[in-house]
Structure 1
Amino acid sequence: MSFETGPGALGDIRVVELGQLIAGPFCGQLLGDMGADVVKVEPPLVNGVGGDPMRDWGQGDDKVQWELIARNKRSVSANLRVPEGRALVRRLIRHADVVVENFKPGTLEKWGLDPQELLKEQPSLIVARMSGYGQTGPYSTRAGFGGIGEAMGGWRYIVGEEDRPPSRMGVSIGDSLTGTYGCLGILAALHVRERTGKGQVIDAALYESVLQVMEGLVIEYDRAGIIRERSGSVLKGIAPSNVYSAKDGPFMIGANKDSLWQRLAAAMGRPELGHDPRYATHVARGERQDELDALINEWTGTLTMAELDALMIEYAVPAGRVYRAPDMLEDPHFQAREAIVEVETERFGPLKMQSTFPRLSATPSGIRRPAPSSVGQHNAEIYGELLGMSESEMGELAERGVI
């Protein structure tokens, strides 16, 4: 794809991203996709080691996750462990609207970058802080990664088969949720700033981000003492809604509403089942969930996925294949909506990746630049042009390992 040139919804916003790995950088990715100028601060290279560890994350010989999470960002290097590096970043923040960070609570304060102090100097600044347990409370100083947040927030306990230990999702969902909620908080804070001129601090905890999407897990326990348990590929009492076996692969069908069940029964050539008292109501189907799933699975096993797909479309039953990456790339709907785009990256050439999302009609998001290929790639551009530093100043700082 050619790079977008439009400003996007946040084209007048500058973000300084101090975080590493996923939660903070994913927040930065979302803001950058919406047009913000995201300046990514990375530790300088020392003996070839430095930068955000995400540069070396991912499966396969070529580590390409960086190309997604760092798109639409500019990279500067600064050693936050030395006073000169911290002073340089503080100067940079004076030119920013938003700071994003996901260090252990207390780290910014230790570095002399206490958000409350920053706000005294710059009352309009917005600081989004992402951490395992939040900035307050007895656990706040503990180290916390996404998986720990998923466990504490309730996600891990309910994922997997009921006769096995808790499982995990195949992606770092806790981190991504926290980055998303951090972004949501920033957008709300920007709206408030429009009215008041005042910034604020956003506190996004990994475990609370997971907790937000736990639906009725807490309220059901509080009211009825129900503890949700692992249930494999189904939600207990919600039937039929499962992955069934076609002749040539897995096929998802969701027909747990009465009218949908009646249509599925008709598609199966057994319309009488739609009104059979054993299956006619939501409660009845839930009580016979295993029995009903076995009945449906016996039928789906006689058909291919293509045949099932055609039948489900004909009878207006929500259903579909269980997609992998190659299925997504081949699918005409993905192609028509450009849900996956090809981006020309500096390190690996053209790479297919998720497009920007959500879609805004008047101020569309876009991919305006590839991920920075090297640590501090934009030092001269940002420190020179934005902060007015000379080449000799930057050269001296580089020699001393500050940048």
Structure 2
Amino acid sequence: MSSDTPSAGPLSGLKVLEMGQLIAGPFAAKTLADFGAEVIKIEPPGSGDPLRQWRLLHNGTSVWWQVQSRNKKSLTLDLKQPEAREIVKKLAAECDVLIENFKPGVMEAWGLSYETLAEANPKLIMLRISGYGQTGPYKDRPGFGVVAEAMGGLRYLTGEPGRVPVRVGVSIGDTLASLHGVIGILMALHHRQASGKGQVVDVALYEAVFNCMESLLPEYSAFGAVREAAGSALPGIAPSNAYPCTDGWVLVAGNGDSIFTRLMRTIGRPDWADDPSLVGNAARVKRVDEIDAAIGAWTQTRSVTEVLTALNAAQVPAGRLYTARDIAEDPHYRARGMVETVTSADGLTLDVPGIVPKLSATPGRITRRAPTLGEDTSAVLREIGITPEQEARLRERGVL
């Protein structure tokens, strides 16, 4: 955890109510919290956010939780009970942003629609993340990130040609939706400065994926071309691929006239470096198989370190495939503050990802460990005028 002199983050003073769970909503809230926003996370009593139990656990709690919920407060509420929903209304009346990633219609069924909440707080901004968005014929379908990655066009392209598509090793659809949600919140905050009015930010998981699919649709529109899976290659860009070494693989991006020239000289093909018929990406794409074969023939007789040493000296973009161990031990990660250390509530010392992006004047900081379940319930309730006696009665009825 950073020990530098505290500085007000760029979102200091922003109050956020997080009603989401698992990945998409909470990742957006975490990003805001990293930059100074006060985030109050609502969790169901007893079990809490299911992410607390996902993947590898330490003393019954996921170590992923220590990343996803840092800088947040935890408030337990059983939202199936009317008293709990009244507490949400009181909190929303004092918040700038509300984040939810329930199936469309859930908030309305609870009497917590945007229109209802905005009556008490017209400045409220609500981020709504769902599989298919708040409108359209698919809006009521259940949607997870993996399905969105397929519908957004990404899953069709991941894998080797002719083989089953594979998933990206992380929940990339959820994370892309989160980041689009954060962008939407920041734009809505900017608009609110001028208008005094909040609004809904509607993010669909599949649309966030689709927004990153580059030329996929216009190529089909113009040429009827359906882009296919291409393994580790980048179709239409040459050379850019993964190449075998004696002890692993190396990624080389030689797509650029001057870069290609330096790459060819490095691998012992000065004839191609000076070949006018290979100038320009379009020309190289026509001979990509031949070029890839030549690069692979050079790399496969050398170690990853030897290849990277030569290509770095020649200013050719290249890199190894990093594992978790490589990341943890890499000096550049450390120098950039991308590996930070935190201590969990049960005393576990953990390396966790640092904060992105890097702001020069108001950088983000990890100021608070991830909360235990309901750790901040009493403190949050006091802030909205609920007395200890009232809290005790709510606990007796299972509201908290």
Instruction: Decide whether aligned partners of structure 1 residues 3 and 369 sit closer, same or farther in structure 2, where only a CA change above 3 A counts.
Output: farther
What is the deviation of 1:280? 4.2
Is residue 55–residue 66 contact of structure 1 (8 Å, CA) maintained in 2? yes
User: In structure 2, what is the equivalent of residue 36 of structure 1?
Assistant: 37
Deviation readout 1:317-350 (Å, 9 max, x if unpaired): 1111111111112111111111111112213521
- Is there any run of 5+ residues in structure 1 with no aligned partner, and where? none
Letter in 1 for 2:29: G
SS in 2 for 1:38: strand
Aligned-residue Cα RMSD (Å) equals: 1.4
Letter in 2 for 1:387: I
Instruction: Decide whether aligned partners of structure 1 residues 357 and 27 sit closer, same or farther in structure 2, where only a CA change above 3 A counts.
Output: same
Structure 2-normalised TM-score?
0.96
What is the deviation of 1:205? 0.5
Is residue 128–residue 202 contact of structure 2 (8 Å, CA) maintained in 1? yes
User: In structure 2, what is the equivalent of residue 160 of structure 1?
Assistant: 159
Is residue 277–residue 284 contact of structure 1 (8 Å, CA) maintained in 2? no
Is residue 118–residue 124 contact of structure 2 (8 Å, CA) maintained in 1? yes
User: In structure 1, what is the equivalent of residue 379 of structure 2?
Assistant: 381
Rounded Cα–Cα distance in structure 2 between residues aligned with 1:348 and 1:273: 59
Is residue 177–residue 205 contact of structure 2 (8 Å, CA) maintained in 1? yes
Letter in 2 for 1:7: A
Letter in 1 for 2:129: M
What is the deviation of 1:201? 0.7
Is residue 92–residue 121 contact of structure 2 (8 Å, CA) maintained in 1? no
How many residues of Structure 1 are paired with residues of Structure 2 in the alignment? 397
User: In structure 1, what is the equivalent of residue 7 of structure 2?
Assistant: 6
Is residue 94–residue 121 contact of structure 2 (8 Å, CA) maintained in 1? no
Is residue 237–residue 287 contact of structure 1 (8 Å, CA) maintained in 2? no
What is the deviation of 1:162? 1.1
User: In structure 2, what is the equivalent of residue 119 of structure 1?
Assistant: 118
SS in 1 for 2:41: strand
What is the deviation of 1:230? 0.6
Q: Map 1:59-74 to 2 at 5 A.
A: 59=56, 63-74=62-73
Rounded Cα–Cα distance in structure 2 between residues aligned with 1:60 and 1:68: 13
Is 1:25 matched up with 2:26?
Answer: yes
Instruction: Decide whether aligned partners of structure 1 residues 366 and 2 sit closer, same or farther in structure 2, where only a CA change above 3 A counts.
Output: closer
Structure 1-normalised TM-score?
0.95
User: In structure 2, what is the equivalent of residue 57 of structure 1?
Assistant: 54
Letter in 1 for 2:306: E
Is residue 278–residue 288 contact of structure 1 (8 Å, CA) maintained in 2? no
Q: State which drifts further: 271-280 or 27-36.
A: 271-280
- Is there any run of 5+ residues in structure 2 with no aligned partner, and where? none
User: In structure 2, what is the equivalent of residue 191 of structure 1?
Assistant: 190
Is residue 237–residue 255 contact of structure 2 (8 Å, CA) maintained in 1? yes
SS in 2 for 1:298: helix
Q: Map 1:202-351 to 2 at 5 A.
A: 202-276=201-275, 279-347=278-346, 349-351=348-350
Instruction: Decide whether aligned partners of structure 1 residues 335 and 261 sit closer, same or farther in structure 2, where only a CA change above 3 A counts.
Output: same
Letter in 2 for 1:17: E
Rounded Cα–Cα distance in structure 2 between residues aligned with 1:209 and 1:229: 20
Letter in 2 for 1:360: L
Name the % identity: 46
Rounded Cα–Cα distance in structure 1 between residues aligned with 2:29 and 2:357: 15
